[in-house]
């Protein structure tokens, strides 16, 4: 079933603040298999000029599962999560995310478009600290396989 | 934050040394638990096949994380990456036996002041699985 185009432009309320912990950064870096010490060792991070342990560039994907999954689970949107694959992801980093940050993500659905048999849903989100400092902008395209409206 | 690579040492058109990593089913399980993406297409072969996929596939973001590792290892400081974009062109299929081998290559496609843009490709033996671009602030 096609996605509900009425969701285009819809903004979602910011979810509960997400606290970035040193432990979750290390767990993420371990899972990726990236041994970089700036993800684990505060003194290595400080030596590289950071105030504390920093997170890998794609760590913010965790926030999609804190907030984004909920927003896309609205039954009126008509998205079947099991038929979804990730099409594209972009992060602009204003400054590295670091241990101790308390982040708030403000997502919105930028567009829903059909191409061939698939539909492409683009979400955009500002990621700010609780104090309102913008640290990153995320833009994500997910592909809903085989749900495009069929002609004829 | 400054990268350890100096902009003056980098030229447009320069190729980065390719890097190959292995991905196994247990890596995907670990990644699912660390990232929160528990979609069964990344863990459950029967399920993946039931929704029309050839087998279990890697999380796109797991592939992007490995491309990120390639970029940050090159730059010397992860904080130097100011923009990072990846298009997932084909799933990385991860069979139970042997997993999959992914090679990342990169090239400097632009340089403006101390900021360089890298073009990156991740490939399996089935061809390109991810096309990425990263802007990196060098020192």
Which residues numbered 71-110 in B keep a CB inside 8 Å of some CB on A?
71-73, 77-79, 81-88, 91
3-state DSSP call for residue B26? Answer: helix
Q: Which residues of A touch B (CB under 8 A)?
A: 24, 27-28, 30-34, 36, 38-39, 48-50, 54, 56-58, 61-62, 64-66, 81-93, 95-96, 145-146
- Could B68 and A65 be called an inter-chain contact, meaning their C-beta atoms sit closer than 8 Å? no
- Could A91 and B83 be called an inter-chain contact, meaning their C-beta atoms sit closer than 8 Å? yes
Q: What is the pLDDT along chain B (139 residues), one digit of tens a residue?
A: 456 789 999 999 999 999 999 999 999 999 999 999 999 999 999 999 999 999 999 999 999 999 999 999 999 999 999 999 999 999 999 999 999 999 999 999 999 999 999 999 999 999 999 999 999 999 8
Phi, psi of B32 (to 5 degrees): -60, -45
Nearest-CB residue to A65 (from B37, B73, B85): B37
- How confident is the model at residue A13, as a pLDDT? 79
Residues contacting residue B83 through CB under 8 Å, at least 6 positions apart: A90, A91, A92, A93, B133, B134, B135
- Could B72 and A56 be called an inter-chain contact, meaning their C-beta atoms sit closer than 8 Å? yes
**Full-model pTM:** 0.94
Res. A151 pLDDT band, cuts 50 70 90: low
- Could A54 and B79 be called an inter-chain contact, meaning their C-beta atoms sit closer than 8 Å? yes
What percent of chain A clears pLDDT 70, i.e. is strictly above it? 96
Nearest CA in chain A to B25: A31
- Could B88 and A82 be called an inter-chain contact, meaning their C-beta atoms sit closer than 8 Å? no
Whether pLDDT at A70 is above 90: no
Torsion region of B36: left, alpha or beta (phi above 0 gives left; psi -120 to 50 gives alpha): left
- Could A61 and B33 be called an inter-chain contact, meaning their C-beta atoms sit closer than 8 Å? no
- How confident is the model at residue A99, as a pLDDT? 98
Are the beta carbons of A116 and A105 closer than 8 angstroms? no
Fold held by A5-20+56-144:
Thiol Ester Dehydrase; Chain A (3.10.129)
Question: Could you read off the pLDDT of A4-63 as tens digits, one per residue?
Answer: 999 999 998 777 899 999 999 999 999 999 999 999 999 999 999 999 999 999 999 998
Describe the strand order of the beta sheet including A84-93 as a list of residue ranges.
A18-19, A102-115, A118-129, A134-144, A84-93, B81-88, B127-137, B115-124, B100-112, B15-23
Tracing tokens 């089935």 back to the chain, one arrives at B126
For chain B, domains (ranges, CATH) are: 7-23+59-137 (3.10.129.10)
Give the residue extent of every domain in chain A: 5-20+56-144
Residues of chain A with Cβ-Cβ distance to B66 below 8 Å are: 32-33
Res. A106 pLDDT band, cuts 50 70 90: confident
């Amino acid at each position: 079933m096609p996605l509900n185009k009425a969701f285009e432009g819809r903004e979602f309320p910011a979810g509960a603040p997400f606290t970035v912990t040193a432990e979750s950064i290390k767990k993420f870096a371990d899972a990726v298999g990236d041994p970089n010490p700036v993800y684990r060792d505060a003194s290595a991070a400080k030596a590289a000029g950071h105030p504390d342990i920093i997170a890998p560039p794609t760590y913010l994907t965790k926030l999609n599962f804190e907030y984004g999954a909920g927003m896309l689970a609205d039954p009126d949107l008509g998205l079947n999560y099991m038929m979804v694959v990730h099409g594209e992801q972009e992060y602009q980093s204003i400054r590295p995310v670091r241990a101790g940050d308390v982040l708030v993500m403000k997502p919105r659905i930028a567009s829903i478009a059909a191409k061939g048999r698939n539909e492409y849903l683009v979400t955009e989100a500002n990621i700010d600290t609780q104090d309102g400092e913008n640290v990153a902008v995320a833009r994500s395209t997910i592909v809903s396989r085989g749900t495009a409206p069929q002609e004829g | 934050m400054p990268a350890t690579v100096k902009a003056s040492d980098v030229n447009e058109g320069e190729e980065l040394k390719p890097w190959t990593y292995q991905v196994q089913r247990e890596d995907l399980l670990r990644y699912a638990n660390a990232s929160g993406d528990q979609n069964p297409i990344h863990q459950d072969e029967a399920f993946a096949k039931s929704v029309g996929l050839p087998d279990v596939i890697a999380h796109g973001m797991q592939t992007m994380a490995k491309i990120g590792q390639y970029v940050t290892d090159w730059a010397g400081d992860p904080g130097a990456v100011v923009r990072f974009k990846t298009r997932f062109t084909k799933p990385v299929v991860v069979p139970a036996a042997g997993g999959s081998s992914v090679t990342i290559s990169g090239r400097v496609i632009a340089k403006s002041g101390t900021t360089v843009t890298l073009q990156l490709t991740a490939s399996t033996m089935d061809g390109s699985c991810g096309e990425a671009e990263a802007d990196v602030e060098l020192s």
